[in-house]
Amino acid sequence: MRISGSVAMVTGASRGIGKETARALAAGGAAVALVARNQEHLESLVAELRPGRACAIPADLTDTRQCRIAFETAINRFGRVDILVNNAGMADGGDLLTQPVEDLARIVDVNFRAPVVLTRLAAERMAAQGGGHIVNVSSLAGVTGIPGAATYAGTKAALRLFTSSLRVELNEQGIYLTDVVLGFVKTGMLEQVENSSRVGTLFNRARRLRLMHDTPAPVVARAIVDAIEARQTVVVIPGYARLLYLPLQGLSRRFVQWLTPS
């Protein structure tokens, strides 16, 4: 799909992967609707990008009504949406029994329910337009599971299956879907999950063994744009994540168990 001349909507666009993806899409000639909670950060990014080719849409994606309003705002501003990047995400702060129920519900809402709602809205519009591309940012945690981040892992597994199921449903509508499976990426969310003693221990042990390394967000953004242009179905970043992303997923789970102290 051509990026130049298209309209993209990116969630979680105020920082990290979302911000870098918005930059990469704008550099390729796309108009970009930027969605996140932090209006100040969004407006700063709008000022940085091409004048008149970006707009800030502050929204809390745990609220279905705000999801709908955000999408309608993008349509009203640019007349169409050709690309949707469901990037916004939240991570657990520790083991399940240490987490307030309300926090767990919010993780589910942001990581899974919001992408479902926005995908539904975008798919209807894209079908009427004759096609489009939807990118859902998942995680290696949704393949292997991560002790200390169980809710996050569960939502990312759900998002991966949602994406693969829709790939068949929406293909005849000219709508392509990409599942972006991420390992460790240098963002604020990575710092947050590392505050969990169990997850932090797993990550640090993997780094000491030189089995894993942090990936800069701009590298991920470039891979997302390349996947849209090439209509790739699955993108796994970085190399060690591709190693773990195996049909033998039981082997991947045993690898994580080996890294995690009992």
Catalytic (active-site) positions: 152
Rg for the chain, CA atoms, rounded: 18
Crossing angle of helices 16-27 and 217-230, rounded to 10°: 50
Element (H, E) at 205: helix 197-208
CA distance 217 to 185: 6
Q: Give 192-260 as a 3 state SS string.
A: HHHCCHHHHHHHHHHHHCCCCCCEEHHHHHHHHHHHHHHCCCEEEECHHHHHHCCCCHHHHHHHHHHHC
Structure tokens at 121: 């809205």
CA distance 69 to 84: 15
Element (H, E) at 106: helix 101-108
